Chains A and B, each alone.
Chain A
């Protein structure tokens, strides 16, 4: 007796399944579609059976597009640029796309259905991050935009600092030097930071590639440590100690005097790329308080009056060729 409803349900499920299978056989006739993907560093085209979402098709083709909602158009992470063959923007997508993105043909790949041959451009990780920053969904202090008058002038079409050949070689040399060690990421970044005086965006894919980790992992480490800067820094980094001893001895006034003298705020860099000022917690020479360092040099017993002289001294110092190359 108890078996009857179960059998009944099985029968109904079977009928529905058969109906769906038949319908799919006769109604869905998309055939195979070619999807051409242009990525940041790899371009490839593959064939896929039409009818499914683009996101799934890309995954089958070996391209990972991040997504956290599983194709329900609620997370908005799976953005790709569909150059052709995507149809029109659906109402479910509109909420996630800015006006500019709509003009550029950006779509949520989970909502685009593969019906015909399509051309897709997948933004790489860093472009995605920049998009998040531009949309103010991220800490704006980490903005990667800066004025053009820094040392490595040329910006490429994506707005990042273009590496010249020598610089790429330099970055490669640093990576290769540390590659043999275990846990070499932080030393690598330290050397990069020392060599370029900040971490140019171009080094992230470069390091990630050699270490076989995603660029996000490198980015995570680079933004965690205060010692790394994502913005170009001046030739001389002036670190003002604000530890307890220095604070009592008037380090605040010294910092204020420095800011006034250089015309920048703490954490900033002068227009001529000579000086960066940053407050630090403790340098460990409380006996010399108040103390500051310029590059590797330690200057103890500072006074407000001494600041101008000190800055002039470094401004007129000969360019340290070793540091710049």
Chain B
């Protein structure tokens, strides 16, 4: 249990996927203009990352390993993620229209988001058990959400001030803000270590 908690906290703070691995940058930059959108995207990412990591773990350990097909896990993961998101969208549209209205529109964007794939690949690299995989996926996605919400909050404040130089507006200032936050997150670095 302690091991799981360590993984969650480490994935959120010391090994934050957006700020230390610089993954998932595309939605990180484009979706961080408003806190509301950033939050919606973040929740959708948490949902999808945990779900796909779990399914990918099962596919890897129950299908690929017994059949000696580890070689193709990369491609299989991509296919599984794409299929899962499609399926999830249909299920949500049919049974949870409220949920769909909230973050359903982010789902197609997430299909090609690299943190979803990264979470699945890291769990193979680090040889996590199923429980640890779930914890890691949850922490990773929560950490990404935390990072994008922080950057969105900074962006909102910056718009209130409104004197960002013209050439830096948009992605430029997001990159700089993300860099400074990444430096701050570096301060957590010595706290724990995950393998």
Q: Write the A4-38 contact mask toward B (1 if CB under 8 angstroms, else 0).
A: 11001100110010011001100111000000000
Contact B83 A19 (CB under 8 A): yes
Contact A27 B93 (CB under 8 A): yes
Q: In the complex, what residue of chain A is closest to B71 when comparing beta carbons?
A: A5
* Residues of A contacting B64 in the complex (Cβ-Cβ under 8 angstroms): 8
* Residues of A contacting B37 in the complex (Cβ-Cβ under 8 angstroms): 91
In the complex, which of the residues A16, A91, A111 has the most CB atoms of chain B within 10 Å of its own CB atom? A91
Contact A16 B83 (CB under 8 A): yes
Contact A23 B90 (CB under 8 A): yes
Contact B76 A9 (CB under 8 A): yes
Q: How far apart sit A134 and B75, CA to CA, in the bound complex (Å)?
A: 48
Question: Which of B40, B72, B80, B91 contacts A16, CB < 8 Å?
Answer: B80
Question: Which of B40, B72, B87, B90 contacts A9, CB < 8 Å?
Answer: B72
Q: How far apart sit A9 and B34, CA to CA, in the bound complex (Å)?
A: 40
Report if B79 contacts A (CB, 8 A): yes
* Residues of A contacting B91 in the complex (Cβ-Cβ under 8 angstroms): 23, 27
Assuming the contacts A5-B72, A111-B105, asked whether A12 and B79 have C-beta atoms less than 8 A apart, the reply is yes
Question: Which of A5, A12, A88, A90 contacts B80, CB < 8 Å?
Answer: A12
Q: How far apart sit A13 and B75, CA to CA, in the bound complex (Å)?
A: 10
Contact A95 B33 (CB under 8 A): yes
In the assembled complex, the CB of B93 is this many whole angstroms from the nearest CB of chain A, namely: 7
A-B contact count (CB 8 A): 54
* Residues of B contacting A28 in the complex (Cβ-Cβ under 8 angstroms): 90, 93-94
Q: How far apart sit A169 and B182, CA to CA, in the bound complex (Å)?
A: 69
Report if B1 contacts A (CB, 8 A): no
- On chain B, the number of residues with a Cβ less than 8 Å from chain A's Cβ atoms is 26
Q: In the complex, what residue of chain B is closest to A30 when comparing beta carbons?
A: B93
* Residues of A contacting B72 in the complex (Cβ-Cβ under 8 angstroms): 5, 8-9
Contact A91 B90 (CB under 8 A): no
- On chain A, the number of residues with a Cβ less than 8 Å from chain B's Cβ atoms is 21
Q: How far apart sit A26 and B63, CA to CA, in the bound complex (Å)?
A: 27
In the assembled complex, the CB of B108 is this many whole angstroms from the nearest CB of chain A, namely: 9
Q: Within residues 84 to 122 of chain A, which ones have a CB less than 8 A from any CB in chain B?
A: 87-88, 90-92, 95, 111
Assuming the contacts A12-B59, A16-B80, A91-B105, asked whether A4 and B68 have C-beta atoms less than 8 A apart, the reply is yes
In the complex, which of the residues A29, A92, A111 has the most CB atoms of chain B within 10 Å of its own CB atom? A92
Report if B127 contacts A (CB, 8 A): no
Contact B69 A5 (CB under 8 A): yes
Q: Write the B43-61 contact mask toward A (1 if CB under 8 angstroms, else 0).
A: 0000000000000000100
Assuming the contacts A13-B79, A88-B101, A91-B37, asked whether A8 and B94 have C-beta atoms less than 8 A apart, the reply is no
Assuming the contacts A24-B90, A111-B105, asked whether A9 and B75 have C-beta atoms less than 8 A apart, the reply is yes
* Residues of B contacting A16 in the complex (Cβ-Cβ under 8 angstroms): 79-80, 83
**Interface residues, chain B, with chain A CB atoms under 8 Å away:** 33-34, 36-37, 40, 59, 63-64, 67-69, 71-72, 75-76, 79-80, 83, 86-87, 90-91, 93-94, 101, 105
The 12 listed contacts between A and B (C-beta, < 8 Å) are A5-B69, A8-B63, A8-B72, A9-B79, A12-B63, A12-B80, A16-B79, A20-B83, A23-B87, A27-B90, A28-B94, A91-B105
Q: A9-B79, A90-B105, A111-B105 are in contact. List 5 more A-B contacts (CB 8 A).
A: A9-B69, A9-B76, A27-B94, A91-B36, A91-B37
Top 7 A-B pairs, shortest CB-CB distance: A16-B83, A8-B69, A27-B90, A27-B94, A5-B72, A91-B37, A5-B69
